[in-house]
Structure formats: structure tokens, C-alpha cells
Amino acid sequence: MAKIEVYTKAFCPYCTRAEALLRSKGAAFEEIDITLGGPRRQEMIQRAGGRTTVPQVFIDGKHIGGSDDLAALDRRGGLDALLAA
């Protein structure tokens, strides 16, 4: 199964939506809470090419993007293939 990392913040509806989509696919993921900032937030910004919004989703180290990007990938039929890798 793919390694999935999701950078999130508390009370973020977009984070909740992205996590719900992944759960609906039966995918296990690591949630990285950056609510308080710190080095993990800087790590996310660097990995996400400067993007500062949450969530930021990575599958097997590949940057997928935010909640809308994840949902669009699923609509195109590409998410299942990445999760199965």
C-alpha cells in the first residue's frame, strides 16, 4: 500500500474533506498536524513547492496538492492507481 502523508491544521474543513476521501478508499495515512507551526510547517512548505495552505497531500513522496487537487485526481480515476501502488 502507498505511503500517504497529509499535513493538516485543527478545525480545517478542507483537511477533514481530504481525510474523509482517503478513508472512503480504505487508505491509511499519516496526519502531520502543523496547527502550531514549527519545523514541520517549514518542511511542508518546502516539499509543497512553496504552498502554505492545508491540507497538503503526498503519496509515496509525490506532491498531490490540496483537498481540491485530491478530489480532482479521484474524479479523473487516478487516485485509486496511486493508492494501490
State pLDDT tens for residues 38-67. 999 999 999 999 999 999 999 999 999 999
Note the pLDDT tens digit of each residue in 17-26.
999 999 999 9
Structural domain total, the chain: 1
pTM of the model: 0.96
Distance between terminal CA atoms of the chain?
Answer: 6
3-state class (DSSP) for residue 64? strand
Q: Which domain CATH number covers 9?
A: 3.40.30.10
Q: Output DSSP code: residue 11.
A: T
Residue 80 has which C-alpha cell? 485509486
- The DSSP element (H or E) to which 17 belongs, if any, is helix 13-24
Integer Rg of the chain from CA: 12
Q: Residues of the chain with pLDDT > 90: what percent? A: 98
The letter for the amino acid at 5 is E
- Structural domain including 15 reads 4-84
User: Taking a C-beta distance cutoff of 8 angstroms, is the pair 60, 85 a contact?
Assistant: yes
